[in-house]
């Protein structure tokens, strides 16, 4: 791992934070956010802001059926979103869960830094009861909504964890699969350990503040609690069209908890459902440098 004086490089720390409001950062404008406010628990998040998925997407051999139900995706009533996987024998493969996708899509701007971040914690079930759990905070190329196939649409996983392990994975997917520029189906990936399942700040920065003609020196970085843990550069991708799908094409946010499938493998009989297995989100926000 490289060690950079990241605090000096990029002092993006909050001046003032109130409970789960997106912070203000010097030199940045807040472009878009959801703080999941609302006094009552058991409400769905705003359907003006989010598409709440209500089907089995049939991806990656995952087991869950996504339900637009407060059983699986709800405002907590305390300014958070909770995505809760549940055993449910009335659906195919025995699990329901939640997945929301932002209607908002953003394009990182030339000459600026774009920041996407969320505060996230996980339910307190012990790790040995989380076999098969696969929560994620990520962005996907909006061209997928018009039919561009994965991974050509571009995907950046800001945070994934698997099986309750105290490790966050950051990954870029692009180009073609298998193989291709992003080494699919693995992707260009790195991980960082986290101290516990409690609140952590997960951030991605698209840095296009470099010289306009020099897309190769643009970069995308992954940060956990202000610590850099993964970087990709235009130079590394080496193809301006593929770089565009990750660095300057419209991207939208996804928050979900998958169960089973390619990355974690399937749950076992010890796997527990419910709030102890949830992903909870304090806010999600996007900023752009002034
Ligand atoms: C929460 O409840 C208070 C007191 O009833 C009310 O003033 C406020 O508008 C409510 N906030 C939301 C987001 O519903
Ligand atoms: C189980 O799934 C069915 C079908 O989606 C749903 O109607 C029911 O409310 C679910 N039960 C629970 C406890 O989530
Ligand atoms: C389920 O998987 C977890 C994590 O690998 C393990 O600790 C546990 O013993 C497993 N349970 C069974 C019944 O195999
Ligand atoms: C995202 O994709 C949808 C569906 O193709 C389209 O209607 C919308 O305009 C796109 N948004 C952006 C910002 O490109
Ligand atoms: C990303 O690019 C910016 C602007 O060129 C540069 O200052 C920064 O050091 C780069 N970060 C990494 C981790 O390469």
Spans of all domains in the chain: 27-289
Whether residue 65 is predicted with pLDDT greater than 80 in this model: the reply is yes
pTM of the model: 0.93
| Average pLDDT for the chain | 93
- Reported as a pLDDT band with limits 50, 70 and 90, residue 14 is low
Note whether 101 and 55 are within 8 A (CB): no
Q: Please state which architecture CATH assigns to domain 27-289.
A: Sandwich (2.60)
3-state secondary structure at position 218: coil
pLDDT of residue 20: 79
Rounded to the nearest angstrom, the distance between the alpha carbon of 245 and the centre of ligand 4 is 14
- For the segment 259-283, the average pLDDT, to the nearest whole number, is 97
Rounded to the nearest angstrom, the distance between the alpha carbon of 17 and the centre of ligand 3 is 39
- Reported as a pLDDT band with limits 50, 70 and 90, residue 210 is confident
Note whether 154 and 174 are within 8 A (CB): yes
Whether residue 199 is predicted with pLDDT greater than 90 in this model: the reply is yes
Shortest-distance atom of ligand 3 to CA 127: 4
Residue among 34, 39, 46 whose CB has most ligand 1 atoms within 8 A, to mutate? 39
- For the segment 160-189, the average pLDDT, to the nearest whole number, is 98
pLDDT of residue 40: 85
Residues 110-127: tens digit of each pLDDT = 999 999 999 999 999 999
Name the residue among 249, 28, 231, 209 with its Cα closest to residue 110. 209
- For the segment 50-62, the average pLDDT, to the nearest whole number, is 96
Q: Whose CA is nearest to atom 14 of ligand 1?
A: 38
Rounded to the nearest angstrom, the distance between the alpha carbon of 145 and the centre of ligand 4 is 7
* Whole-number percent of the chain with pLDDT over 70: 93
Rounded to the nearest angstrom, the distance between the alpha carbon of 4 and the centre of ligand 5 is 11
- Reported as a pLDDT band with limits 50, 70 and 90, residue 39 is confident
Whether residue 16 is predicted with pLDDT greater than 60 in this model: the reply is no
- For the segment 225-233, the average pLDDT, to the nearest whole number, is 97
Q: Whose CA is nearest to atom 11 of ligand 5?
A: 219
Helices (H), the chain: 6-9, 234-237, 240-247
Q: Measuring CA to CA, how many Å separate 143 from each of 59, 237, 288? A: 18, 19, 22
pLDDT of residue 100: 98
Strand extents, DSSP E, 5-94:
28-34, 50-52, 64-66, 73-75, 81-83, 86-87
Shortest-distance atom of ligand 1 to CA 38: 13
pLDDT of residue 2: 31
Q: Which of 14-23, 45-54, 84-93, 242-251 has the lowest mean pLDDT?
A: 14-23
pLDDT of residue 60: 92
């Amino acid at each position: 791992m490289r060690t950079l004086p990241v605090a000096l490089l990029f002092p993006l720390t909050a001046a003032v934070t109130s409970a789960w409001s997106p912070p203000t950062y010097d030199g940045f404008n807040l472009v878009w956010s959801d703080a999941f406010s609302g006094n009552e628990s058991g409400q769905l998040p705003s359907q003006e802001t989010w598409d709440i998925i209500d089907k089995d997407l049939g991806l990656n051999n995952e087991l869950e059926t996504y339900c637009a139900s407060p059983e699986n995706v709800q405002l907590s009533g305390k300014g958070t979103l909770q995505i809760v996987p549940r055993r449910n024998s009335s659906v195919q493969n025995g699990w329901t869960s939640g997945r929301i996708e932002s209607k908002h899509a953003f394009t990182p701007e030339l000459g600026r830094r774009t920041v996407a971040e969320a505060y996230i914690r996980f339910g307190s079930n012990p790790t040995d009861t989380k076999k098969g759990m696969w929560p994620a905070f990520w962005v996907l190329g909006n061209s997928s909504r018009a039919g561009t196939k994965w991974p050509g649409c571009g995907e950046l996983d800001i945070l994934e964890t698997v099986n309750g392990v105290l490790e966050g994975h950051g990954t870029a997917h692009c180009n073609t699969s298998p193989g291709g520029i992003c080494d699919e189906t693995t992707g260009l990936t790195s991980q960082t350990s986290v101290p516990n399942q409690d609140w952590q700040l997960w951030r991605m920065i698209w840095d296009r503040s470099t010289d306009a003609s020099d897309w190769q020196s643009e970069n995308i970085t992954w940060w956990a609690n202000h610590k850099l843990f993964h970087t990709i550069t235009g130079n590394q991708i080496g193809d301006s069209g593929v770089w565009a799908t990750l660095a300057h094409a419209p991207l939208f946010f996804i928050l979900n908890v998958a169960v089973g499938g390619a990355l974690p493998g399937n749950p076992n009989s010890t796997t527990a459902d419910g709030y102890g297995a949830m992903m909870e989100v304090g806010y999600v926000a996007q900023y752009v440098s002034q």
